[in-house]
Amino acid sequence: MKAAAGDQVVVESSHVMAHRREGQIVEVHDPGGAPPYLVHWNDTGTESLFFPGPDAHIIHAGTQ
């Protein structure tokens, strides 16, 4: 998975009662765009370091 600052991350829920999470990637420290990413989460307004799993995908800026 590769991303850049400004891209969106979407984490789909694998549980019936859980919700999908969306956020904007604020920082990428790897020059090749590899994780982890600093993400600003839309649902909580907080930022956290994110290591994407198989339920996550990236929507690259400009392709929305």
pLDDT of residue 3: 97
Residue 11 has pLDDT above 80, yes or no: yes
Q: Which residues 6+ apart lie within 8 Å of 9 measured at CB? A: 3, 22, 23, 24, 25, 37, 39, 50, 52, 56, 57, 58, 59
Taking residues 1-24, report their average pLDDT.
90
18-53: per-residue pLDDT in tens?
Answer: 789 999 999 999 999 999 999 999 999 999 999 999
pLDDT of residue 61: 92
